[in-house]
Amino acid sequence: MAYTLNEFCADSRAILEAQPLAAALPQIADCLSRLLIDPDFVSETFSGDMPPGKRVLHHDPELDFYVLAHVQQGGKTGKPHSHGTSWAIYGNAKTK
């Protein structure tokens, strides 16, 4: 059964409300992994002709967390870096 963006956002919210951040982040990362292997989500969210940049897929105003989709230019690399007092969980998806 498909795991949807709405389910991911609801699960993330519930996890963040129920646990300390250090315990919540690995669980949210597991949920993100489930979302990114769903071919329906990937094909609805990304396409081969999308311009590089980021899009907001979801914002929870009460907890102030975002779900973003980034399309990177080919050949771009990055290194681990600090997000200061904020946090980020990254995942990769590839369109067919």
The pLDDT tens digits of the residues spanning 51-94 come to: 888 899 999 999 999 999 988 777 777 776 677 777 788 888 87
The pLDDT tens digits of the residues spanning 20-50 come to: 999 999 999 999 999 999 998 998 888 778 7
Q: Where are the domains of the chain?
A: 1-96
Give, in order, the Cα–Cα distances in Å from 61 to each of 45, 67, 71.
22, 12, 24
Read off the pTM. 0.84
SS3 per residue for the chain? CCCCHHHHHHHHHHHHHHCCHHHHHHHHHHHHHHHHCCHHHHHHHCCCCCCCEEEEEEEECCCCEEEEEEECCCCCCCCCCCCCCCCCCCCCCCCC
